[in-house]
Amino acid sequence: MILTTRAIALVLSLAFASGGAALSLVSLTTPADGVGSDRGLDTNGNGAFDWLVLEASVDLPTTDYWNVQAMLSSTSPPKGGVCGQAVPPPVPILETGLPYGSLLPPEYPIAWAGERYFFLAGAQTVRIAFRGTDIFRAGIDGPYLVRATLIGGDGIVYGRADGFAPVPWPGPPVMTWNYTTQAYAAADFEEPFRPAYFTGAHDDLGIHVDEDGAYDLFELRAAVHVNTAGIYYLNGMLLPRASDPNRYATVAYGYRDLTLEAGETNVALRFRGDQIRAAGVDGPWAFSLVLTGPNIYTWDGGNMTPQPALPGTAPYAGILPPTYPEVLCGETSAYSAVAFDDTIELARYTGVFAEATVDWDGDGLHDLLVVRAEVDVFLASAFEIRGALRVSDRSMDIATSWGQVQWPEGTAWAEFAFAGPDIRASGVEGPYEAFLSIIPLVWGIDPSTTYVTRAYKATDFDDRADGNRSYWIDSLSASVDPSRVLGVRVVVVRGNDMLTVVYEDTLTIELSDPAGVLVGSVVDRVVLTSGGSSWSMSATFGVLGSGTYTVTAILGPPSAPVDVRSTVVTV
């Protein structure tokens, strides 16, 4: 329908008068239904409709690609709005009783569809399909209203750095098609698969992490039935109740990942007390919890591994059947906003530490000095971890460490890695004092502590700051069998780099007799295809006379080897 100049002016005037609220109208009068038909389609033979299929009869003015956008809606509201609050009435300009009469009856969206077809000009039938699971989930019985817009061509063409691209909206020609379906019950349609869902029970409590008497955190717990085990994402909001004048404000929000096993369980989400204190809104609060998942992949040593197929479904290759977020709404117990702390502690050191050195290339020198500190994490958050390794009198920093982490609730380890070349360059002997700091990325108390390392010499650490060798000899073994044949095996490994290159080199095994004279050698090629890969080589020498022999493995050209190992065997 094309709006008249007077109608457009009316909408603009009312929009400005309402403070610029965004409006979305199909037309300013109840549109007449177009010509078409509708039917439910059951594709799996279980008696429930998987699709609501409509066929729209239209007369297209041009031959072109046509973009079809459609919305399925109802004039009947759902039983409740967000967090159980009553569904708000339509905005004033759509209400009856205005001087202009009823501009548009209220419509509550249920489902959407989008298609793109090539059509010849003239009479055509356009097929539109809405998912049955969307309709079942809405829980609203029909008849349903359909508002469809057909846009011809590729729209407006705009320039960009790599050429030109079309914008399919809102270039002409534009047509609308409006339709009312037959009567359906929402229960006639396919019920969505629910990997997990809230059962309705919930409770809450304030949490203290220190002794100042104020709550640091607010925890909301809810009962969940889990059909499919996996990793889920939980987020939620605390809002003023519908009767509160500030009902559109946010009191607090929270989010976390969690692993759920099949069966009956409970989930918990914590909210920051300083957010509640800053909002200044006393409880009870309205809340919403949203549970999504599961993530069908698990991360396993660099490989994405699909989880087992869902109950009652055929095995799939990484595609989860359509699922919907599960939502629980309700109200909390009564709390005072001032009962919560205005500065909270998100993590705290437990006093447990660990210390280790890392020799990446097996040359006997430490590439890293790693200090680990155990941490109690009270709220899933992101942190910046900073460390400084310094002399015992704190007069000089020797090395520093920096990184960012995302920790879930519970126990975690903060890892501070100090570069060996920095320690070597300082020339300072240990023990060293490590200053360890954890900084919440979204405001909060910054816990810090110190740790004294074991004694080291500066020369215990590697002096190479170029990342060290990318591959090296991991092991060299040699043994003599009863027939005096010497067997040698060498394993070469590549570091855990992320490079997409193949390393190739040579490996030479040399055998020298008791007088140091070379009596045999074998050369082969080494191919290391990816980070963490290994390659092995075996060789035999014999029959050997009595005496002590030296076996030497040379990785790379003998004039400039990457690594050299040797061992002695006695025959």
Question: Which distant-in-sequence residues (6+ apart) come within 8 Å of 430 by Cβ?
Answer: 453, 454, 455, 456, 457
> Tens of pLDDT along 316-340?
444 556 678 888 988 999 999 999 9
Please indicate whether residue 226 or residue 358 has the higher confidence score (pLDDT): 226
Domains of the chain from N-terminus onward: 26-188 (2.60.40), 196-312+321-339 (2.60.40.10), 349-460 (2.60.40.10), 471-570 (2.60.40.10)
Please indicate whether residue 8 or residue 55 has the higher confidence score (pLDDT): 55
- pLDDT mean over 167-175: 64
- pLDDT mean over 186-192: 91
Please indicate whether residue 522 or residue 395 has the higher confidence score (pLDDT): 522
Percent of the chain clearing pLDDT 90 (strictly above): 36
Q: What is the mean pLDDT of the chain?
A: 80
Please indicate whether residue 100 or residue 150 has the higher confidence score (pLDDT): 150
Which pLDDT score, from 0 to 100, does residue 293 have? 83
Q: Confidence class of residue 299 from pLDDT cuts 50, 70 and 90?
A: very low
Highest-scoring range by mean pLDDT, 115-129, 295-309, 342-356, 432-446: 115-129
Q: Confidence class of residue 389 from pLDDT cuts 50, 70 and 90?
A: very high
- Partner residues linked to 56 by β-bridges: 36, 126
Which pLDDT score, from 0 to 100, does residue 507 have? 94
Which pLDDT score, from 0 to 100, does residue 306 have? 45
Report the C-alpha gap between 290 and 267 in whole angstroms. Answer: 11
Which pLDDT score, from 0 to 100, does residue 5 have? 33
- Partner residues linked to 53 by β-bridges: 39, 129
Phi/psi for 79 (5° steps) reads: -70, -30
Identify the CA nearest to 508 among candidates 518, 497, 521: 521
Q: Confidence class of residue 296 from pLDDT cuts 50, 70 and 90?
A: low
Which pLDDT score, from 0 to 100, does residue 84 have? 46
Decide: pTM greater than 0.75. Answer: no
Which pLDDT score, from 0 to 100, does residue 178 have? 92
Which pLDDT score, from 0 to 100, does residue 213 have? 86
Question: Sheet containing 471-480: which strands, arranged edge to edge?
Answer: 471-480, 486-494, 534-541
Residue 49: half-sphere exposure toward Cβ, Cα within 13 Å: 21
Please indicate whether residue 102 or residue 233 has the higher confidence score (pLDDT): 233
Q: Tell me the three state secondary structure of residue 147.
A: strand
Which pLDDT score, from 0 to 100, does residue 498 have? 64
CB atoms within 10 A of CB 518: 11
What one-character-per-residue DSSP string does 492-544 give?
A: EEE--------EEEEEEEEEE-TTS-EEEEEEEEEEE-STT-EEEEEEEE-PP
- pLDDT mean over 432-453: 85
Which pLDDT score, from 0 to 100, does residue 471 have? 83
115-141 burial, b at 16+ Cβ within 10 Å, e below that, comes to eeeebeeeeeebebbbbbbbbbbbebe
Please indicate whether residue 260 or residue 305 has the higher confidence score (pLDDT): 260
The two counts, helices (H) then strands (E), for the chain are 4, 32
Report the C-alpha gap between 316 and 470 in whole angstroms. Answer: 39
Instruction: Of 217-221, 255-259, 379-383, give the lowest mean pLDDT range.
Output: 379-383
Q: Confidence class of residue 139 from pLDDT cuts 50, 70 and 90?
A: confident
Which pLDDT score, from 0 to 100, does residue 368 have? 87
Report the C-alpha gap between 104 and 98 in whole angstroms. Answer: 12
